[in-house]
Amino acid sequence: MTVSHAREIAGWSYAPPYDFYDMGEDDETIEELMRYTAILKGGALFGFYCLGSWAQVPAGRELGCYREESGAVDIGLGMDPEHAGRGEGTRFVSYVVAEAIRIGSPSLLRLTVASFNLRAKKVYERLGFRIVGNFKAGTTDFEVMELPSAADGLVGIR
């Protein structure tokens, strides 16, 4: 991730109700994004992802919603709002899943999604993720989803 990519991502603006994912362009956000991986398509910024505790929702961690003994690798991701809702989600998430497997060979992948985000949940379920828990952070409900046997036969598409 370059600083330029981080600034571009921080400036993304999603249409309601997805504006929940708008970040803001403060220094703290840029610093956090610098820990993530940018995904380019045709040389242009397409999305980003992060792995590990950075992908967890802090309130979910505080509530004990992430079973550490499971050995799961958490995935956090975001797609350029210009591409969201246009049928590119499955390919995008497949790529992130493949990268997580390539990097760490986990037996289980986990992600957290806002309950209202039906588009994303549909993609995750299509790829085999299943809801294993839920929690509330502020006024937002979240669902924790897991993909068992993540390394078995999944291939990312670029």
Confidence class for position 103, pLDDT limits 50, 70, 90: confident
Q: Exposed, middle or buried by CB within 10 Å (0-12, 13-18, 19+), for 41? A: middle
pLDDT digits (tens, 9 = 90+) for 7-29: 999 999 999 999 999 998 899 99
Q: List the chain domain ranges.
A: 44-148
pLDDT digits (tens, 9 = 90+) for 61-89: 999 889 877 788 999 999 999 988 788 88
10 with 38: CB under 8 angstroms?
A: no
Half-sphere exposure of 144 (CA within 13 A, CB side): 24
Please report, for residues 1, 87, 97, 105, 121, the alpha-carbon distance to residue 35 in angstroms, rounded to integers and kept in the order given.
Answer: 7, 27, 18, 20, 25
The mean predicted confidence, pLDDT, of the chain is 89
Q: H or E stretch including 98?
A: helix 89-104
Q: Percent of the chain beyond pLDDT 90?
A: 72
87 with 63: CB under 8 angstroms?
A: no
Buried (b) or exposed (e) across 46-68, using 16+ Cβ within 10 A? bbbbbbeeebbbeebeeeebbee
Q: CATH assignment of 44-148, given 3.55.40.10, 3.40.190.10, 3.40.630.30, 3.40.1350.10? A: 3.40.630.30
Identity (one letter) of the amino acid at 88?
A: E
pLDDT of residue 71: 80
pLDDT of residue 49: 96
86 or 34, which is more confident?
34
CA-only gyration radius of the chain, Å? 15
Q: For the residues 90-105, what does the mean pLDDT come to? A: 90
